Amino acid sequence: MKKAEIVMTLMMAAFSAYLMWKSAELSVGWVEDEGPGGGAWPFWLSAIMFGTSVWSLIRCVRGASLPSQSDEPFMDDFALRSFLQVAVPLGIALALIHVVGIYFSIPLFMIYYMRFLGKHKWPLTLAVSISTPVVTFFFFDIALRIVLPKGYTEPMFYPLYDIFL
């Protein structure tokens, strides 16, 4: 567990430093007559995340955290199997976004997750898996006008754009 905690805190610190560097491409301070700059929120949130990562690393090295005192493995066979049952299909769903779009990829993952992992009944599974992308489409594409990726299914959405936009 101690090795996993050290590796994770170092990865989080490195990721936080990267986000701070990237967000500093925009103004991270106060812009006169406008307010906080475009990079302020991500920069300072990343700075806090960096600080907590460093603090976690210090606690781990000192042996003050529970994981740093444990000799147990980070993941046993059950935990690894459970992780892979979610991570592999999620990775497939994310890869499918570029092919069939978010509005078909995510429902496929939700059906797998709810029905086969969660053992929910088909009516609930289908209700959630169908209603979620519909609500998401109207919220993002129609109300906010933030177009989410649709892949090769994009022509299917043209009639909806004609109706609602």
For the stretch 42-98, pLDDT in tens is: 999 999 999 999 999 999 999 898 888 888 888 889 999 999 999 999 999 999 999
Task: Indicate if 116 and 155 belong to the same structural domain.
Answer: yes
Task: Indicate if 8 and 35 belong to the same structural domain.
Answer: yes
State pTM to two decimals. 0.69
Number of domains in the chain: 2
Owning domain of residue 36: 2-69
Residue where a domain stops, chosen among 69, 104, 125: 69
Task: Indicate if 43 and 118 belong to the same structural domain.
Answer: no
Residues 6+ apart with CB under 8 A from 24: 39, 43
Task: Indicate if 82 and 154 belong to the same structural domain.
Answer: yes
Task: Indicate if 88 and 57 belong to the same structural domain.
Answer: no
| Percent of the chain at pLDDT exceeding 90 | 78
Task: Indicate if 15 and 49 belong to the same structural domain.
Answer: yes
Could you count the other beta carbons within 10 Å of the beta carbon of residue 88? Answer: 10
Per DSSP, what are the bridge partners of residue 36? Answer: 30
Q: Angle formed by the axes of helices 77-100 and 102-111, to 10°?
A: 150
